[in-house]
Structure 1
Amino acid sequence: MKEELVEEKSHATNHYLYYPDEKNVPPYLAYGFRPAFLLLAPYMILSMLLWGLVWSGYLNIVFMDDVLTWHVYEMLFGILTAGLLAFLTTGLPELFPGMVPFVGKRLKYIIYLWIAGRVSFWFIDYVGVYVAAFLNLSMLGWIIWFAKDAVLDPLQRHASIGYAALSLFIIEIWFFASQANLVTTPSMDILKVALGAIVILILLALRRVNMEAINELMEDKGIDDIFISRPPKTNLAIFTVIVFTVVEFFYPQNSALGWLGFAAAAAILGITSEYKLKDAFILNQPYVLYLASIYVMFFLGYALMGWDLLNPNIDGVHHFRHFITSGAIGLSYIVVMIIIAWVHTGRHLTYSISTHLMVSLIIVATFMRGLIPFFEEYMMEMYLYSSIIWTIPFILYIKVFSNFLLLPRKDGIKG
């Protein structure tokens, strides 16, 4: 296993041998993660601030009737497509040497498609469901097409990510069919199913991110050990999330769902035991703590929802779910964006007070938002302040990493 990891690591820069011979490619279009992250950070700031102002009563969005559906869809699918674009166009050429990186004009056009999808959904009441559906499904469909090499790989080494993305494509079709009144399933119920699929996708992606980031970190620090993320614990967590999601869809009030929430929470938390290495102690390393905090937020979300479902005196499932959405998913984006901005611009993985704040403030905002059931008299204030605090990490990200994304790689390699 160690030999396989070393061999895989040795292929990590082979994709630069297949870099397209395109002239005058600006640095911000030199690799898939660059324009995605340059747009994703400000878009998250805008979306969350607007939602905080709307829900707390300070702003009325006059161009949309169903603001709640807009918020949930955008924070799930709208952001997901940009994140998947960055993750797959950066990672797949490394995992499959010979795969041509997606850069330049072709990358610019797919970014335009993502922007068109966002605009169309914001103004869905004016452009219509079918236009919004076509643009948004085209974006996710293109990403799946780009990932086809992973799905068709005879060894099926990374096919699970492709299958998870395909399941999300089907769920998104279902969502737009609901919006167009072609099916009777409530859109919000479909978005809860989508959340479960996104959790699974993130758990699968984190296996790869953990392997790359932690081994990169240990190599830089001269730690003589290798981190290996083993499938069984992740697979158990995925199974429990699938069961929870299915039961919640069909039997949302069944008390068994509470116990399934505890099961999902325990299985996800169990993944953190992988950070206990045989020959080295790494739990004092900031990036290990950053990544572990994602699993802890997932744990709290499913555990609190399970507790709520078994406790008739509390009605806060929709609040506790924010430990999964604002917390774990929000942390997944910011931590991966930080890691990729360091490693894939030719720099060593580094931490600072800024990276500490990015992670810590998302956690603080999540607790403010998720614990509203215990402080309902301050609900509006907690909505607004948590939204503001949640956006600060992405403001810091722009400040710290925008030059990394706008300038060529520090080590002189293309990409």
Structure 2
Amino acid sequence: MRRAEIAVTGLGLVTPAGHTVEENWTTLCRGRSTAAVDPVLEGLPVDFSCRVVGLDATAELGRSATRLDPFAQFVVIAARQAVADAGLDPLTWPKERVGVVLGVSGSSLSTYDTEYGHLNGGRPDRVSPLAVPRSIPNMAAGEVAIDLDARGPNFIVSTACASGATAIGTARELLYSGACDIVLTGGSESACTRMNSAAFARMRALSRRRNEPHAASRPFDAERDGFVLGEGAAVLVLERPSAARARGAPVQALLRGFAANTDAYHPISPHPEGRGVLHAITTALGDGGCRPGDIGHINAHGTSTARNDALEAAAVSRIFEDGAPPVTAPKGVVGHSLGAAGAIEAAYTVLALRHECVPPVANFKGQDGDHKLDIVAGHPRPVSMGTALSFSFGFGGQNAVLLFTAD
């Protein structure tokens, strides 16, 4: 039996596309990459990224900003936005019934880049006493709870680049079980670090378009050559629809289906036949009581890597035999924020439903291979849609699919 829908009542976004929901949507619809040369990465084989710029964390958060690593700063600010957007007041909400479930792919390497420099330079006395509490992954959820006085279940989900989407699916279980009345969920990552850039470059996963970073991230394009590091955070407020409507809250979309699984095949390579991806998509459709023909839009994982995009396109073509609905891939604009990507793209999917519009894929010129998708490119496409899917896949064979419907 299909489970009841869960309401999305608030959104918060801090990404390379902007520091508010409105800025993100405007930038996304322009369809132009935010990638640029990154001074932090100077001297590395890949020296560009999609970074959050112009964010004054101290102005936003006050003195507490100094103890927070960027991934925690991003998500606390996004959580404040989402709570305000939902019309909730932390001074009056049922504190013990408010949960926080966030996705983070790894600990914050930006802190360790600095602190290991002190240690390896023979100065252990200069290692910050805040190094551990600034960097451990659960501090994203912990700092949100401290800031907003949310005293319910509080934890991090880590499933590589599927973390944000897996967190959202996990959060709805807290509402189904009765453990919470409100859950703040999503993901955060500060991935634009020297270690990440060096390591992913060694894996040949990053684009090498140093002379034209703005053209580097190009999901599903025939000339794609790797992804671009990104960062940021997204938070969604989830509630039971009856409770949201009882307090007069706007229901922005309904989370109607979810599936998560693993390929159980290889540490970093997806199954060559898309075994887990196919099962996750069909399971999410079944969980939401939908058929492929009901889907009006797909927000693809679309990393801009040759193999992953080809396998994703093949899986979509197999399931949508009569033709896939319009497809977008936001990583062309904001890069790949690893553990935050699934949450950011879930928020974008909700916005696409609200606006009945699919944003374009940046830098897309044309596809290769036998699997031709209906890629939205050049300009946003108005689409009358009631249902949309958001895909997230990650190392370890992690797959997560979310199904949203308009209210």
What TM-score results when the alignment is normalised by the length of structure 1? 0.36
Q: Which one has a larger percent helix, Structure 1 or Structure 2?
A: 1
What TM-score results when the alignment is normalised by the length of structure 2? 0.37
Q: Which one has a larger percent strand, Structure 1 or Structure 2?
A: 2
Structure of higher RCO (CA pairs closer than 8 Å, 6+ residues apart): 2
Larger Rg: 1
